[in-house]
Structure 1
Amino acid sequence: MKNLSTESLFKYVKVTDEFWSKYQSLVNDVVIPYQWNALNDNIENTEPSHAIKNLKIAAGEAEGEFYGMVFQDSDVTKWLEAVAYSLANKPDPELEKIADDVISLIGKAQLDNGYVNTYFTIKEPEKKWTNLCECHELYCAGHLIEAGVAYYHATGKNALLTISCKFADHIYDVFGNEPGKLAGYPGHPEVELALMRLYEVTQNEKYLNICKYFIEQRGQQPHFYDIEFKKRGETSFWHVHGPAWMIKDKHYSQAHIPLAEQHEAVGHAVRFVYLLAGVAHLARISKDQEKLGICKILWDNMVNKQMYVTGGIGSQSCGESFSCDYDLPNDTAYTETCASIGLMMFANRMLQLDTNSKYGDVMERALYNTVLAGMALDGKHFFYVNPLEVHPKSIQHNHIYDHVKPTRQQWFGCACCPPNIARIIGSIGNYIYSIKDDGVLVNLYIGNKTHIELPQGQLLLEQNGNYPWQDSIQIDVSPTMPLRTKIALRIPDWCHSPILFINDQQQELESIISQGYAEIDRIWKAGDRIRLSLPMDVMVIRGNPLLRHADGKIAIQRGPLVYCIEEQDNGAELHNIRLDSTTKFETFTGNGLFAGKTLIKADSVRIGSQDAQLLPLYSYNQPKPETKKQELILIPYFTWANRSLGEMRVWINEK
């Protein structure tokens, strides 16, 4: 086995972890078949997808009109990518045959010059590449390319990879600063990270160069979006926020100024992290320190001033966008599931560039909270938006909550999130480790067996534990022959008293921790064993004083999991509950829906009266309302809304 990039590790990392094995089985057995039915319009009472039908029409195998979003093709290719990971995890000839047939369909829909896009092939063939700002052609190309790379790694079949290369060659021929080419770049970044994945497989310099061109051309003057807008007679595609809003608001697509001049996370959150994932990937491959610096500046602003405690990003519904520093409302939070998935992709690439646990900490926070919350425990219902506070009665009547759903949906007309969740869970093996020239980083504590080819030799690792519920991790190290290398273990920011043993000998951690990783540099022999304890105390979190939405409130975390309270356990009107930060928190194992999951209980008080509706709306000079004791039950945030409709809160008023 040759040296692997981290992004192809999924094939060699076999997840054995109880928690994640269940999730991968859910994806294999339920989510992928369910989403296949959705793509074929076989789910009752949901918005139709028509995505497979669009492909059949474009391929000449059916008649009809295009239906759906301009980016509808990406639902199919993200699903194909999820299938690729599923086949690597669990071979399934029937599923592979379905996927191969879809790939064949894409091949038939591909034009002679390599172009693939059912919207423009069927509906507006004369308008190809005339509206990069608004119309997602390169975004769809990116997801097709990612699927091609993943399917090749998983199955060894190159049909979709060949389609991807042909399309990427066409893109290279169309775009650039040379005479006769379009000096443009995507409105919705995605193709950049895809082109870097394609480059790593093919080593074709064209793909690296066109990726670099898209990144460096972005935001240059005269502005390409204005040029193409005039060329097409000042017509715009989207009118939801007014004519040409996306063209006028160039912050939305991170195209207001060149990327090297940007210092704040702005615009559409998914676009931002997809773009920066591509920049980080390019920086690593090309050893570009300037681009690494750009990534660090924008990472720090996003994480330190614009990220929710759940790892969600993109606080406002208008444009699915970032707002400004410290503007993180809880009940109107947008925090799209795809944004946290993109955040994981960005974090993972930063770990390959810069050994610093802060990237792994955020990757873990996003994964165990917002990403997992995006899908119900049944695998058939999904959140697009992930608020931190829900009051269903208000949602019915107040239009500021139009984007908030108090229960997960079966499907969406804009269904980017469901297949994205499937592909991230299927590819979780890509995120556990980072391979470095001098060794291996252990980023996530997920039980698995893997073998990694290092320059020094082959290393076999077997990781076991019951994370995120229990704090003990064991890693058995079995090199094929004694070899010297580093194994670096991430010490999470939430753990203040880690304990490390190697072959039953406790280690002095202070002397070996660097940038949040415990670096063990030694000659490893078969039978060596690492044991790491990460005590999971229940922790009280307070927001920065500038974070007004958390003022007077506390949040609760244990291990990587943020907890919340729900009406089903604690009654309605959760804003009347007061929690003392010094109270004793008690953990216990749930049952039923929460079987095997750690829950938390604590004493709290509830203010108000059962007869509150008899009181006037406002009272003058009245004493503070009475309080009564109440036992409070907290559940992991990712499990909320899996029962009946009810209120939910992450931030709890402090007593």
Structure 2
Amino acid sequence: MLEKKMKMANLDAVTVKDGFWKNYMELVRCRMIPYEWEALNDRVEGAEPSYGMANFREAAAGGGTFRGRVFQDSDVYKWLEAVAYSLMWHPDAQMEATADEAIEIIAAAQQPDGYLDTYYILTGIEKRFTNVMDNHELYILGHMTEAAVAYYRATGKRKLLDTAIRYVDCADRNFGREEGKLRGYPGHEVAEMALVELYGVTGEERHLKLAQYFIDERGQKPLFFAEERERFHNEYKWKESYFQDQYYQAGKPVRDQERAEGHAVRAVYLYSGMAEVAAMTEDQELFAACERLWKSIVEKQMYLTGAIGSSEYGEAFTFDYDLPNDTLYAETCASIGLVFFARRMFEITRDGQYTDIMERCLYNSIISGMSLDGQKFFYVNPLEVQPEASRKDFYKRHVDVQRQKWFACACCPPNIARLLASLGGYMFEQSEDTVFVNLFAAAELRTGVGGHLSTLHLETEYPWDEDIRIRIENEQPTEFTVAVRIPAWCENWTASVNGSRCQETPEKGYLYLQRTWRTGDTIGIHLEMPVRCMAANPRVRDDVGKMAVMRGPLVYCLEEADNGDQLQELYLSEDAAFTLKREPEFLGGTVTIATEGWRLSENEWDEHTLYRTYRKPVYKKQTLKFIPYYAWANRSEGEMSVWVRVKQ
């Protein structure tokens, strides 16, 4: 059975208290959402203009000039989705009024038949659906639908939901296998999972069937994208590429795809939709494809940080074990999409391998995409940086060494905001009789699992501290199960209930504690968090002879500000001993790691000698200081490296 029998906790039932994720959620609510509204209205001095709201205003007024990228509408929708999630756990009348203002403008731009894409409304609506491959109409539909569902759930207001339904119905009239319809599907996926979300609200079979159609039709022969290119003389940017139509994951039917290929964000958005449809329709073959594609990513194409998409060309997957550290792309949105995929796979399987990857991405490759003040952003998340190379090497020009205020293509900032604003639902999921604790934070969950109201109080300073305490409070004794994730990175752990050691053993990474719980009952979890030196498969050419440092879920890195320049000269000892230091005022409050390492001496060389006969290298001792990877580039511009050479 593939049917999902669990769901995310309602965000209004989760209160995240002081601690790591509370800081980030408040950053989103208090800084990012207001800042992004200013950016969407082109009011951030020195930032790339968005034109997001300007295009909607022009379209609502009946005409004007479109500016920005063809998919610019989607940034506004992701912002609205972040607002919706924030309102669920922190009502804010002013924020809601601002969102309502935006929704009124959006709805006013909608065409009589439901179509709503400002690019074609302003540049020639007669050309709509003539370049579905590249011009993102169905991608915009997807983000609009996700925002509409979230805002309806947050406020009960139907304005945006009804607007989205009209656009979905417009797409349904235009796409499908019936005579007179286009046999097309999204060039940039996201509508697939959005339509399943809409089905969850409307119960309309046509919404689920449209999602199923988009997935089943993809890659079928004759290939729709090829026919569309020929009919409308559209540019084929990837004609000479190695991936061609697999850039869009459309080179073959999805059930025949064996490995993750093409544009990384599109891929994981598609796989998320495939998992949703597989669960809804009990499609075992489709789910088997999801499992294959998951393994292709995490076993052979994922960085230590959880980043994916190793090539700037096409923002794409390349080939197995091709994971360069300094020329990679590793778009923030791709890691967010991997989290979407992971959550859906977990909800089907209850397997901790998926929530482990979810945690890895959240603590590393996602929050690295924003500055600690929430107002500057990375699009690309490298594992090694040399500033001069980013300025002067054409093939590293995409690797920023400082976060930017905004981007002309600004998908990442609002994507971060909507994910972090909805984080409470990733922390806890629940079925009829079980609460799943996926992520650890100081938080409260109010739940009716077991038929009576209970509150789970989580107390922890994770990821800095090794202990998690879960205290139960309920109106009467209630039987249910608390399933606590035991991370795969943790080799030694203990669990207790009311001080007595638990005898249960984990199943697929979760410790299932079934009890009749009473007020005052307490679960204690201790996760040993030693510093771990990580190695990569030797087929990963860039990491041979190197180690990376992790503690708990966090990947660490060296930065020039702490260790000097020429980081390639630094070495870790094979038997390195590490010292931890809690630094509450440093980089937003963190634990740093230090060890005695080595620096390759330059004294044996003079500036006029480029090569010479090999002789045994000379090293000098140097203390190496590691900081969490997510916190790099929040001080002065400088070098950074995750992987460090090993001195034997």
TM-score (norm 1): 0.95
From 471, 474, 480, the counterpart of 1:476: 471
Distance 1:188 1:379 in 2: 27
Distance 1:615 1:484 in 2: 76
Distance 1:481 1:319 in 2: 57
Q: Are 1:37 and 2:38 matched, yes or no? A: yes
Give the 3-state SS of the residue equivalent to 2:15 in structure 1: strand
Q: Are 1:191 and 2:191 matched, yes or no? A: yes
From 405, 424, 427, the counterpart of 1:432: 427
Pair 1:591–1:460, CA change in 2 (3 A): closer
Q: Are 1:421 and 2:416 matched, yes or no? A: yes
Instruction: Please report how far the alpha carbon of residue 536 of structure 1 lies from its aligned counterpart in structure 2 after TM superposition.
Output: 0.7
Distance 1:418 1:160 in 2: 22
Q: Are 1:134 and 2:96 matched, yes or no? A: no
Distance 1:8 1:52 in 2: 32
Q: Are 1:309 and 2:304 matched, yes or no? A: yes
From 511, 522, 526, the counterpart of 2:519: 526
Instruction: Please report how far the alpha carbon of residue 124 of structure 1 lies from its aligned counterpart in structure 2 after TM superposition.
Output: 2.5
Q: Are 1:495 and 2:490 matched, yes or no? A: yes
Residue of structure 2 equivalent to 1:75: 75
Structure 1 residues 329-368: aligned runs within 5 Å: 329-368=324-363
Is the CA contact (8 Å cut-off) linking 2:9 and 2:430 kept in structure 1?
no
Higher alpha-carbon deviation: 362-371 or 515-524: 515-524
Residue of structure 2 equivalent to 1:279: 274
Residue of structure 1 equivalent to 2:17: 16
For residues 184-231 of structure 1, give each alpha carbon's deviation from its aligned partner in whole angstroms, at most 9, with x where no partner exists.
100100001111111111211111110001011110001000111122
Is the CA contact (8 Å cut-off) linking 1:11 and 1:153 kept in structure 2?
no
Structure 1 residues 562-601: aligned runs within 5 Å: 562-601=555-594
Is the CA contact (8 Å cut-off) linking 1:17 and 1:465 kept in structure 2?
no
Is the CA contact (8 Å cut-off) linking 1:71 and 1:140 kept in structure 2?
yes
Distance 1:231 1:453 in 2: 56
Distance 2:278 2:380 in 1: 31
Residue of structure 2 equivalent to 1:385: 380
Residue of structure 2 equivalent to 1:545: 538
Residue of structure 1 equivalent to 2:639: 647
From 448, 465, 480, the counterpart of 1:485: 480
Residue of structure 1 equivalent to 2:528: 535
Distance 1:644 1:397 in 2: 19
Instruction: Please report how far the alpha carbon of residue 589 of structure 1 lies from its aligned counterpart in structure 2 after TM superposition.
Output: 1.2
Residue of structure 1 equivalent to 2:66: 66
Instruction: Please report how far the alpha carbon of residue 165 of structure 1 lies from its aligned counterpart in structure 2 after TM superposition.
Output: 1.4
Give the 3-state SS of the residue equivalent to 1:140 in structure 2: helix
Q: Are 1:227 and 2:222 matched, yes or no? A: no
Is the CA contact (8 Å cut-off) linking 1:352 and 1:435 kept in structure 2?
no
Residue of structure 2 equivalent to 1:92: 92
Instruction: Please report how far the alpha carbon of residue 64 of structure 1 lies from its aligned counterpart in structure 2 after TM superposition.
Output: 3.2
Distance 1:76 1:182 in 2: 28
Distance 1:595 1:612 in 2: 40
Give the 3-state SS of the residue equivalent to 1:362 in structure 2: helix
Is the CA contact (8 Å cut-off) linking 2:482 and 2:513 kept in structure 1?
yes
Is the CA contact (8 Å cut-off) linking 1:8 and 1:153 kept in structure 2?
no
Instruction: Please report how far the alpha carbon of residue 5 of structure 1 lies from its aligned counterpart in structure 2 after TM superposition.
Output: 6.5
Give the 3-state SS of the residue equivalent to 1:255 in structure 2: coil
Residue of structure 2 equivalent to 1:405: 400
Letter in 2 for 1:46: A
Is the CA contact (8 Å cut-off) linking 1:344 and 1:366 kept in structure 2?
yes
Residue of structure 2 equivalent to 1:47: 48
Is the CA contact (8 Å cut-off) linking 1:474 and 1:530 kept in structure 2?
yes
Letter in 1 for 2:85: Y
Letter in 1 for 2:638: G
For residues 239-294 of structure 1, give each alpha carbon's deviation from its aligned partner in whole angstroms, at most 9, with x where no partner exists.
5x6xx669981110111100101110100000011011111112222232222211
Higher alpha-carbon deviation: 434-443 or 178-187: 434-443
Distance 1:149 1:365 in 2: 28
Instruction: Please report how far the alpha carbon of residue 612 of structure 1 lies from its aligned counterpart in structure 2 after TM superposition.
Output: 4.6
Distance 2:357 2:590 in 1: 22
Higher alpha-carbon deviation: 169-178 or 309-318: 169-178
Is the CA contact (8 Å cut-off) linking 1:17 and 1:464 kept in structure 2?
no
Specify every segment of 5 or more residues in structure 1 that has no aligned partner in the other structure, as ranges: none
Letter in 1 for 2:382: P
Pair 1:453–1:198, CA change in 2 (3 A): farther
Residue of structure 2 equivalent to 1:616: 609
Letter in 1 for 2:616: K
Give the 3-state SS of the residue equivalent to 2:91 in structure 1: coil
Instruction: Please report how far the alpha carbon of residue 453 of structure 1 lies from its aligned counterpart in structure 2 after TM superposition.
Output: 3.3
Is the CA contact (8 Å cut-off) linking 1:583 and 1:603 kept in structure 2?
yes
Q: Are 1:505 and 2:500 matched, yes or no? A: yes
Distance 1:99 1:610 in 2: 62
Pair 1:493–1:248, CA change in 2 (3 A): closer
Letter in 1 for 2:445: T
Distance 2:323 2:383 in 1: 10
Pair 1:616–1:101, CA change in 2 (3 A): same
Instruction: Please report how far the alpha carbon of residue 521 of structure 1 lies from its aligned counterpart in structure 2 after TM superposition.
Output: 2.1
Distance 1:452 1:130 in 2: 48
Instruction: Please report how far the alpha carbon of residue 11 of structure 1 lies from its aligned counterpart in structure 2 after TM superposition.
Output: 2.7
Residue of structure 1 equivalent to 2:295: 300
Instruction: Please report how far the alpha carbon of residue 459 of structure 1 lies from its aligned counterpart in structure 2 after TM superposition.
Output: 3.8
Give the 3-state SS of the residue equivalent to 1:601 in structure 2: strand
Instruction: Please report how far the alpha carbon of residue 591 of structure 1 lies from its aligned counterpart in structure 2 after TM superposition.
Output: 4.8
Is the CA contact (8 Å cut-off) linking 1:445 and 1:473 kept in structure 2?
yes
Higher alpha-carbon deviation: 98-107 or 440-449: 440-449
Distance 1:309 1:401 in 2: 20
Is the CA contact (8 Å cut-off) linking 1:225 and 1:247 kept in structure 2?
no
Letter in 1 for 2:258: H
Instruction: Please report how far the alpha carbon of residue 426 of structure 1 lies from its aligned counterpart in structure 2 after TM superposition.
Output: 0.4
Give the 3-state SS of the residue equivalent to 1:487 in structure 2: strand
Higher alpha-carbon deviation: 601-610 or 134-143: 601-610
Higher alpha-carbon deviation: 321-330 or 35-44: 35-44
Q: Are 1:176 and 2:176 matched, yes or no? A: yes
Specify every segment of 5 or more residues in structure 2 that has no aligned partner in the other structure, as ranges: none
Letter in 2 for 1:27: V
Distance 1:571 1:35 in 2: 35
Instruction: Please report how far the alpha carbon of residue 434 of structure 1 lies from its aligned counterpart in structure 2 after TM superposition.
Output: 2.4
Is the CA contact (8 Å cut-off) linking 2:301 and 2:323 kept in structure 1?
yes
Give the 3-state SS of the residue equivalent to 2:171 in structure 1: helix
For residues 396-451 of structure 1, give each alpha carbon's deviation from its aligned partner in whole angstroms, at most 9, with x where no partner exists.
21111011101111110000000001111100012112223441221111222122
Identity of aligned residues (%): 44
Instruction: Please report how far the alpha carbon of residue 452 of structure 1 lies from its aligned counterpart in structure 2 after TM superposition.
Output: 2.6
Distance 2:432 2:85 in 1: 26
Give the 3-state SS of the residue equivalent to 1:335 in structure 2: coil
Give the 3-state SS of the residue equivalent to 1:358 in structure 2: helix
Instruction: Please report how far the alpha carbon of residue 134 of structure 1 lies from its aligned counterpart in structure 2 after TM superposition.
Output: 0.7
Higher alpha-carbon deviation: 558-567 or 577-586: 577-586
Give the 3-state SS of the residue equivalent to 1:653 in structure 2: strand
Is the CA contact (8 Å cut-off) linking 1:6 and 1:431 kept in structure 2?
no
Is the CA contact (8 Å cut-off) linking 1:537 and 1:558 kept in structure 2?
yes
Give the 3-state SS of the residue equivalent to 1:554 in structure 2: strand
Higher alpha-carbon deviation: 562-571 or 514-523: 514-523
Q: CA RMSD in A?
A: 1.8
Instruction: Please report how far the alpha carbon of residue 611 of structure 1 lies from its aligned counterpart in structure 2 after TM superposition.
Output: 7.8
Is the CA contact (8 Å cut-off) linking 2:333 and 2:412 kept in structure 1?
yes
Is the CA contact (8 Å cut-off) linking 1:457 and 1:480 kept in structure 2?
yes
Give the 3-state SS of the residue equivalent to 1:579 in structure 2: strand
Residue of structure 2 equivalent to 1:460: 455
Distance 1:595 1:379 in 2: 12
